[in-house]
Amino acid sequence: MKAELPAVTFPGGRQVPALGLGTWHMGEGDASRAEEVASLRAGLDLGMTLIDTAEMYADGGAESVVGEAIQGRRDEVFLVSKVLPYNASRSGTIAACEASLKRLGTDHIELYLLHWRGRHPLAETVEAFETLKADGKIGAWGVSNFDQDDMLELLEAAEPARPLTNQVLYNLARRGIEFDLLRWSRVQGIPIMAYSPLDEGRLVGHPVLEEIGRIHQASSAQVALAFLLTKPGVIAIPKSGSPDRVRENHRAAEIRLTSEDLQLLDEAFPPPTRKRPLEMI
């Protein structure tokens, strides 16, 4: 029986699964392309319908892989892509989006993000986002790698428009956002997208995750994802180039971590007790 994925609701009411599909490092070589496409399609079969990509990933190669994977299934997919900060002028953002659309083989992207802050004024990038939205090329916009101070500046620059999400590095080993940004975002109604939810694989095989996994007949990776699925308003986007690993990730939704499990995780990966600089990869 397929596990029911929890959902996260964006401002405006659109719901997406709290467990999506990342594509970082996809599209870097022809040898793995067929399996990468198969992995994304396997995720769609399981209801992991949010696919996150970016023009930066393999210089557009990941978007090309996504475009192939969603052929004939576009209506199922909530598509997220990103503009590089040095492209994020008013005209540059529009040109970058149009190039992404071409690689993705679609006429619209549900959610378009500024990948991180650069030299272009936020108001200029937001103006371009709003133009793309008015033209029907994107459904909404957001940001990535913004700390709370950045978000406050963004809200002021964007008024009355608002971002749909903030995508940041968040996993058991990188819990800094729990001190302030995560709670602030929840109050603001701005969901967090957690990239590298397995800390680029470093959490796989961790002894405490293995211990908890034995109790739940689960892998360490599934336990790490299950932790994020306990967090309201958080969308995890693990990347996997293997259909079997995608199916394993999906089964994280079956795990119900107990208070004892969460205490063990807090002991192994202490939550922050002070403000930390926002971590990025």
Which residues are identified as catalytic?
57
- The C-alpha atoms of residue 25 and residue 35 are separated, in whole angstroms, by 13
Angle between helices 33-45 and 61-69 (to 10 degrees): 50
Cβ distance 219 to 213 under 8 Å?
yes
Tokens linked to 187 = 């109050």
Q: Which residues pair with 144 in a beta bridge?
A: 167
Cβ distance 78 to 110 under 8 Å?
yes
Encode burial over 244-260: b for 16+ CB neighbours within 10 A, e otherwise.
ebbbbbbbbbebebeee
* Of 233, 225, 226, 219, nearest in space to 188 by CA: 233
Q: Region of 59 please: left (phi>0), alpha (psi -120 to 50) or beta.
A: left
Cβ distance 26 to 36 under 8 Å?
yes
Cβ distance 28 to 21 under 8 Å?
no
- The C-alpha atoms of residue 186 and residue 236 are separated, in whole angstroms, by 15
Tokens linked to 150 = 């950045």
